[in-house]
């Protein structure tokens, strides 16, 4: 392949990166679904890899003295040309990474919110059962069987609370949800005191 042919191939590869970058940036700006963005990013990665390959082949060809006049194209040396394409690629990639992070954060929030609600409801019901058990303990004629069943149910409810806490922490860091963790610690302590 001649240097002129390789120069044309490199120019086409640059155009492919530019077009793929514009498509990705446009899709991010239009807030397209993440799967579309992901596919566009994969396309961009492919054409950028192709550009890098072609550019390297061109660079190897023009390092020979007989092709020295081809080292500068349209006023740009090889490094400037590659840097321009890289910057175009990076601009689109940065927007994609930002959109991906936003999508993941939104998913975590949508997934964690119902768990938080369930956790608050479970804690409330556990408090109510503790109150029932405390009231039953104040009775003169305590029904030991009913009391034992209430304690078993209490332990079961505590297990559900702990499962929901584990689910919550699979979506959020332990530091993020301190108020709920304090409520959970409090209810665990109350259940422990109630079942002793």
Q: What is the predicted pLDDT for the residue at 172?
A: 66
Q: Is the pLDDT of residue 1 over 80?
A: no
Residues 117 and 164: beta-carbon distance below 8 Å: no
DSSP letter (8 states) at residue 173: -
Dihedral over alpha carbons 135, 137, 139, 140 (to 10 degrees): -170
pLDDT tens profile 5-60: 888 899 999 999 999 999 999 999 999 999 999 999 999 999 999 999 999 998 88
Q: Is the pLDDT of residue 142 over 80?
A: no
Residues 4 and 58: beta-carbon distance below 8 Å: no
Mean pLDDT computed over 163-182: 71
| Separation of alpha carbons 65 and 115, rounded Å | 68
In DSSP notation, 67-102 reads GGGGSEETTEEHHHHHHHHHHHHHHHHHHHHHHHHH
Q: What is the predicted pLDDT for the residue at 40?
A: 96
Q: pLDDT band at 178, cuts 50/70/90? A: low
Q: Is the pLDDT of residue 121 over 60?
A: yes
Q: What is the predicted pLDDT for the residue at 45?
A: 97
Q: pLDDT band at 105, cuts 50/70/90? A: confident
Instruction: Print the SS3 string covering 101-161.
Output: HHHHHHHHHHHHHHHHHHHHHHHHHHHHHHHHHHHHHCCCCCCHHHHHHHHHHHHHHHHHH
* Burial of residue 126 (number of CB atoms within 10 Å: 0-12, 13-18, 19+): buried
| Separation of alpha carbons 161 and 123, rounded Å | 7
Sequence ranges of the domains in the chain? 3-106, 107-195
Q: Is the pLDDT of residue 174 over 70?
A: no
Residues 88 and 20: beta-carbon distance below 8 Å: no
Please, what CATH class does the domain formed by 107-195 belong to? mainly alpha
pTM for the full model?
0.63
């Amino acid at each position: 392949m001649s240097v002129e042919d390789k120069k044309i191939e490199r120019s086409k590869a640059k155009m492919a990166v530019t077009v793929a970058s514009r498509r990705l940036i446009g899709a991010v700006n239009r807030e397209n679904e993440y799967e579309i963005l992901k596919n566009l990013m994969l396309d961009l990665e492919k054409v950028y890899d192709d550009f890098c390959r072609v550019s390297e082949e061109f660079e190897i060809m023009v390092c020979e003295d007989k092709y020295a006049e081809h080292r500068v194209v349209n006023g740009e040396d090889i490094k400037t040309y590659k840097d321009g394409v890289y910057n175009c690629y990076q601009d689109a990639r940065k927007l994609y990474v930002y959109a991906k992070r936003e999508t993941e954060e939104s998913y975590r929030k949508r997934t964690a919110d119902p768990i938080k609600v369930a956790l608050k409801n479970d804690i409330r019901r556990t408090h109510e059962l503790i109150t029932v058990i405390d009231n039953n303990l104040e009775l003169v004629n305590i029904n030991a069987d009913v009391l034992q069943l209430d304690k078993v149910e209490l332990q079961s409810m505590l297990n559900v609370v702990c499962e929901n806490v584990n689910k919550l922490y699979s979506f959020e860091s332990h530091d993020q949800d301190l108020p709920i963790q304090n409520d959970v610690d409090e209810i665990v302590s109350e259940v422990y005191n109630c079942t002793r």
